[in-house]
Amino acid sequence: MEKDKKLYLKLFLSTFYLSAFTFGGGYVIVPLMKKKFVEDLKWIDEKEMLDLVAIGQSAPGPIAVNTSILVGYQVAGVKGAMCSISGTVLPPLIIITIVSFFYNILKENVYVNAALQGMQSGVAAIICFAVYKMAKDIFKEKKISQVIIMILAFIVAYFLKVNVALVIIIAALYGVIKK
């Protein structure tokens, strides 16, 4: 029983820490979740994490929360999912509550605006790195159909401005039909 409590606490604190110190949304937090739960804690393997991320992306709602729920459930069942979702949701809730009290003071502050613009650059770099790592894994497996789908999805979403949700649904349907 004590071992379970330690696992739940570790799960909560891990997701709380990741959520509290990650700016930029789900596409930034997911690679950090992979590093924490796959590489550091070794609670799940890399392929399983990629599957959980894919499910988290296709489910309605924020990808960070969805993936957190799935990781928590995979590691420690329903209680683990509750711990991980609490850890993921609490930091933004606390931060937004605090910021809302000071919004009128902060909205015109030059330093705050400069910091936010700087964070945008960092977020872009992290997202590019995550895409690079995922693409590298796909190329490593040498599955040409996945490479073609990845390239087509990018072209359709970026250049043709097709809604990303529609691209994800079509890719998911292709995956289901192909299996």
Q: What are the extents of the domains in the chain?
A: 2-106
User: What tokens appear for 84 in the block?
Assistant: 């991980």
Q: How far is CA 113 from CA 9, 24, 105, in A?
A: 36, 15, 12
> 10-23, pLDDT tens digit by residue?
999 999 999 998 87
pTM, full prediction? 0.63
Predicted pLDDT at 139:
76
What is the distance between the alpha carbons of residues 62 and 145, in angstroms, rounded to a whole number?
Answer: 28
Q: Does the pLDDT at position 82 exceed 90?
A: yes
| pLDDT, mean over the chain | 86
- Identify the residue whose tokens are 């190329």: 139
Q: Does the pLDDT at position 104 exceed 80?
A: no
User: What tokens appear for 104 in the block?
Assistant: 């009128």
User: What tokens appear for 6 in the block?
Assistant: 């330690």
Supply angle C-alpha 139, 143, 146, rounded to 5: 85
